């Protein structure tokens, strides 16, 4: 008792020095701030550069109605005119088919991994395979479908084959993002549903998936954005057609990446160069529009809190 | 409605770990039974075995019998989903469904089990919200999201959701531990009212709360960390708090433990 009392410093009422930063800490703070801002600027330079170049060189063709309604039929690299309708439709059709096949498989697969397979050997194997699939280059996916679709089954090169190979590329992206979103749904909500006597499958359909819906849609859009720009599967599996072909089961099809590739070889010629930039801008806009749509869908179905 | 629960020789395991050992007790219908005891003593685990909710955790299993009147909840062929329809549950943290309105939250138990009749749903929602003392606060905004309510209101919403499916028994796992005193009082008043109709079992860390709301109190304890929790004593609440039979109970409720 007395020992403690003796050691106790006297109360002196003096002001403490709270001015803070020592010189070294202030320097580190400044250094880190500069590095972070620099990293941000460096990351933004290529983005703005690309956007600026593509917009400034490509916008004027997009202003004409022909661009949105005509094909390149009969238009040579030396001639102006025509449009990208065939390529826009080709890209949309093939991407849509891809999404129709890939999204259900990906979402159901993610539901399996999160809700049913947790910790099982099967889930670990599936998860590992998805990781591998994530790293498969698009040309490998394209050649795989080529081997199956054309070499083994003897079918022709058509848009549907492209969709099949794009499924391989989209599947892991959507599955992984959906998985993460489902993991974010708190177990308390599942338990609340079980406690009402709701079976597991219905809990997943009516509680878990709707809660994660916004995130799932975002994942689908990321996947779509990725596959819309793929070029290798198009070159290998459907070729390029300057004509309008809306049938994914018959004949060559145009698409925006292959349209860019077509005119790319003659960049010295102004009409071809213009079309390359315009097609690139169109592809960027397409992805942008899909993203905005997805945001709207997600907003109207999202978690309500006020 | 309301059923008697008779538990005999119940052991609860998580994998190889025995969490609760040899619990036998009778929970009377139309009464409130409180479980008290230190953290980790297995009272929540035991509570969750009463509607087979512990099975949600992989590797969890039980030995022994839980009788709901004449029916053994662990008899072969008993569907846990069916058990949970008659033994409802309210959780520690309010957990309304974030995608649903207040109306849909209360109706969710019926809706998700296939009831579509709008008139019936409206009736049940109104009755349940009255039952949970929440109707007057939310009657003008039933279509607003449930997650926009205050914590105490959300918990009463969860109680309304639980009673909307007309269970026989309602289990409450520390329903007030995340709430302020005023909301706690509202829930305690509600528990008092619920026991007219239901068998209520409540886990609480608040001994005053156990003393205020319950008719019977069960004290759980564990010998040491890593040892299974056991039921030390169960008796009418007045007796537990005035004249407990076991020394351990007396030490706990008077604050002399360890």
Residue B5's alpha-carbon distances to A142, B62, B138, B172, B219, in angstroms, are: 63, 16, 34, 15, 17
A92 and A127 housed in the same domain? yes
A41 and A109 housed in the same domain? no
Compute the average pLDDT of residues A13-26: 80
Of how many residues is chain A composed? 306
A43 and A74 housed in the same domain? no
- The alpha carbon of residue A305 is apart from the nearest alpha carbon of chain B, in Å, by 5
- Answer whether residue A304 shows pLDDT above 60: no
* Cβ separation A198–B88 shorter than 8 A: no
Collect all residues of chain B within an 8 Å Cβ-Cβ radius of residue A305: 98, 145, 147-148
> How many alpha carbons fall within 13 Å on the CB side of residue A155?
19
* Cβ separation B85–A197 shorter than 8 A: yes
Rounded mean pLDDT of chain A? Answer: 89
Compute the average pLDDT of residues B156-161: 94
Compute the average pLDDT of residues B231-252: 91
Whether residue A228 contacts residue A91, with contact meaning beta carbons closer than 8 Å, is answered with yes
Collect all residues of chain B within an 8 Å Cβ-Cβ radius of residue A187: 56
What pLDDT score was predicted for residue A302?
A: 60
Collapsed DSSP state (helix, strand, coil) of residue A273: helix
Collect all residues of chain A within an 8 Å Cβ-Cβ radius of residue B84: 194-197
Q: Would you list the DSSP string of A10-72?
A: PP--PPP------HHHHHHHHHHHHHHHHHHHHHHHHHHHHHHHHHHHHHHHHTSHHHHH---
Q: Which of A94-103, B2-11, B47-56, B187-196 has the highest mean pLDDT?
A: A94-103
A34 and A83 housed in the same domain? no
In a domain? residue A71: yes
**Which tokens in the block code for residue B204?**
């609480």
- The alpha carbon of residue B37 is apart from the nearest alpha carbon of chain A, in Å, by 23
* Phi and psi at residue B87, to the nearest 5°: -120, 100
Give the long-range contacts of residues A267-270, CB within 8 A, separation 24 or more.
A269/A77, A269/A78
Number of domains in chain A: 2
Mutate to test the interface with A, among B81, B102, B159 (most CBs of A within 10 A): B81
A40 and A86 housed in the same domain? no
**Digit-coded pLDDT (tens) for A23-63:** 888 899 999 999 999 999 999 999 999 999 999 999 999 99
* Cβ separation B112–A202 shorter than 8 A: yes
**Which tokens in the block code for residue A280?**
């690139």
Q: Tell me how far apart the alpha carbons of residues B235 and B217 are, in angstroms, rounded to a whole number.
A: 6
Collect all residues of chain A within an 8 Å Cβ-Cβ radius of residue B145: 303-306
A152 and A29 housed in the same domain? no
In a domain? residue A208: yes
In a domain? residue A5: no
In a domain? residue A233: yes
In a domain? residue A174: yes
What pLDDT score was predicted for residue A132?
A: 93
In a domain? residue A277: yes
Go through the domains of chain B in sequence order and give each one's CATH number: 5-253 (3.40.50.300)
**Least confident among A8-12, A44-48, A69-73, B196-200:** A8-12
A38 and A147 housed in the same domain? no
Mutate to test the interface with B, among A191, A196, A301 (most CBs of B within 10 A): A196
* Cβ separation B99–A119 shorter than 8 A: no
* Cβ separation A194–B84 shorter than 8 A: yes
What pLDDT score was predicted for residue A81?
A: 81
A213 and A272 housed in the same domain? yes
Where does the pLDDT of residue A131 fall: very low under 50, low under 70, confident under 90, or very high at 90 and above?
Answer: very high
Q: Tell me how far apart the alpha carbons of residues A302 and A304 are, in angstroms, rounded to a whole number.
A: 6
A142 and A202 housed in the same domain? yes
- The alpha carbon of residue A179 is apart from the nearest alpha carbon of chain B, in Å, by 19
Contact with chain B for residue A197, Cβ under 8 A: yes
- Picking from A44, A63, A82, the residue at the C-terminal end of a domain is A63
What pLDDT score was predicted for residue A100?
A: 96
In a domain? residue A10: no
Where does the pLDDT of residue A306 fall: very low under 50, low under 70, confident under 90, or very high at 90 and above?
Answer: very low
**Digit-coded pLDDT (tens) for B200-240:** 999 998 888 999 999 999 999 988 888 889 999 999 999 99
Starting at the earlier edge strand, list the strands of the sheet with B169-173. B71-72, B60-68, B5-14, B17-27, B229-236, B216-222, B32-36, B199-203, B169-173, B87-90
Q: Tell me how far apart the alpha carbons of residues B72 and B62 are, in angstroms, rounded to a whole number.
A: 13
Contact with chain B for residue A207, Cβ under 8 A: yes
What pLDDT score was predicted for residue A278?
A: 93
* Cβ separation B108–A303 shorter than 8 A: no
- The alpha carbon of residue B188 is apart from the nearest alpha carbon of chain A, in Å, by 21
CATH code, domain with A262? 1.10.3720.10
In a domain? residue A19: no
* Cβ separation A196–B99 shorter than 8 A: no
A41 and A147 housed in the same domain? no
- The alpha carbon of residue A292 is apart from the nearest alpha carbon of chain B, in Å, by 22
- Answer whether residue A5 shows pLDDT above 70: no
H or E element at residue B108: helix B102-112
H or E element at residue A170: helix A159-184
Of how many residues is chain B composed? 258
* Cβ separation A188–B84 shorter than 8 A: no
Contact with chain B for residue A52, Cβ under 8 A: no
* Cβ separation A306–B145 shorter than 8 A: yes
What pLDDT score was predicted for residue B87?
A: 93
**Digit-coded pLDDT (tens) for B119-148:** 999 999 999 999 888 999 999 999 999 888
* Cβ separation A197–B101 shorter than 8 A: no
A153 and A237 housed in the same domain? yes
Neighbouring residues of B211: CB distance < 8 A, sequence distance ≥ 6: B217, B237, B241
Task: Report the alpha-carbon angle B212-B215-B217, nearest 5.
Answer: 90
Q: Give pTM, 2 decimals.
A: 0.83
- The alpha carbon of residue A286 is apart from the nearest alpha carbon of chain B, in Å, by 30
* Cβ separation B84–A195 shorter than 8 A: yes
Range of the domain at A46: 24-63
Contact with chain B for residue A28, Cβ under 8 A: no
Furthest C-alpha separation in chain A: 105
**Digit-coded pLDDT (tens) for A137-160:** 999 999 999 999 999 999 999 999
Which residue bears the tokens 């109707």?
A: B135
A161 and A124 housed in the same domain? yes
Collect all residues of chain A within an 8 Å Cβ-Cβ radius of residue B162: 195-196
Give the chain B residue nearest A192 (alpha carbons): B95
* Cβ separation B161–A192 shorter than 8 A: yes
Contact with chain B for residue A73, Cβ under 8 A: no
Q: Is the dihedral of CA A276, A280, A282, A283 positive or negative?
A: positive
Which residue bears the tokens 């979402």?
A: A107
Compute the average pLDDT of residues A65-76: 87
* Cβ separation B148–A304 shorter than 8 A: yes
What pLDDT score was predicted for residue B135?
A: 93
């Amino acid at each position: 008792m007395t020992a403690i009392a003796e050691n106790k410093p006297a109360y002196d009422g003096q002001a403490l020095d709270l001015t803070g930063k020592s010189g070294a800490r202030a320097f580190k703070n400044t250094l880190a701030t500069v590095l972070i801002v620099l990293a941000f600027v460096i990351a933004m330079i290529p983005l703005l550069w690309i956007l600026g170049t593509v917009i400034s060189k490509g916008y004027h063709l997009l202003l004409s109605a022909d661009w949105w309604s005509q094909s390149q039929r009969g238009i040579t690299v030396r001639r102006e005119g025509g449009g990208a309708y065939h390529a826009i439709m080709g890209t949309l059709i093939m991407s849509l088919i891809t999404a129709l096949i890939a999204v259900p498989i990906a979402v159901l697969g993610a539901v399996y991994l999160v809700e049913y397979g947790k910790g099982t050997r099967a889930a670990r194997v599936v998860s590992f395979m998805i990781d591998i699939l994530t790293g498969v280059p698009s040309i490998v996916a394209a050649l795989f479908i080529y081997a199956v679709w054309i070499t083994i089954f003897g079918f022709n090169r058509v848009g549907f084959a492209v969709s099949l190979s794009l499924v391989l590329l989209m599947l892991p992206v959507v599955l992984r993002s959906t998985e993460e979103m489902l993991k974010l749904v708190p177990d308390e909500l599942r338990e609340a549903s079980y406690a009402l006597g709701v079976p597991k499958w219905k809990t997943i359909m009516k509680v878990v998936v709707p809660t994660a819906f916004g995130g799932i849609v975002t994942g689908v859009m990321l996947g779509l954005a990725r596959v819309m720009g793929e070029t290798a599967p198009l070159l290998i599996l459907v070729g390029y057609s300057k004509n309008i072909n809306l049938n994914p089961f018959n004949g060559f099809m145009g698409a925006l990446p292959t349209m860019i590739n077509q005119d790319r070889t003659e960049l010295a010629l102004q009409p071809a160069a213009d079309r390359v930039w315009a097609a690139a801008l169109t592809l960027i806009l397409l992805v942008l529009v899909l993203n905005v749509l997805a945001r709207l869908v997600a907003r109207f179905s999202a978690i309500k809190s006020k | 409605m309301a059923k008697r629960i008779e538990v005999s020789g119940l052991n609860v395991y998580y994998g190889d770990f025995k969490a609760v050992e040899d619990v036998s007790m009778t929970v009377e219908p139309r009464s409130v039974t409180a479980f008290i005891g230190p953290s980790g003593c297995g009272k929540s685990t035991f509570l969750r075995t009463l509607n087979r909710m512990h099975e949600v955790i992989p590797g969890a299993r039980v030995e022994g019998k839980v009788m709901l009147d004449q029916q053994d909840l662990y008899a072969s062929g008993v569907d846990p989903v069916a058990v949970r329809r008659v033994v409802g549950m309210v959780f520690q943290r309010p957990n309304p469904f974030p995608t649903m309105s207040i109306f849909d939250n209360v109706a969710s138990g019926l809706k998700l089990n296939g009831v579509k009749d709008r008139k019936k749903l409206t009736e049940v929602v109104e009755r349940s919200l009255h039952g949970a003392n929440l109707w007057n606060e939310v009657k003008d905004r039933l279509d607003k999201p449930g997650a926009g309510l205050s914590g105490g209101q959300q918990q009463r919403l969860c109680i309304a959701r639980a009673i909307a499916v007309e269970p026989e028994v309602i289990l409450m796992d520390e329903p007030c531990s995340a709430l302020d005193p005023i909301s706690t009082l509202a829930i305690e008043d509600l528990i008092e009212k619920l026991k007219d109709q239901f068998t209520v079992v409540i886990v609480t860390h608040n001994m005053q709360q156990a003393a205020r709301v319950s008719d019977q109190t069960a004290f759980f304890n564990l010998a040491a960390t890593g040892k299974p929790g056991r039921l030390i004593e169960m008796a009418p609440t007045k007796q537990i708090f005035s004249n407990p039979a076991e020394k351990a109970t007396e030490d706990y409720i008077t604050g002399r433990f360890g």
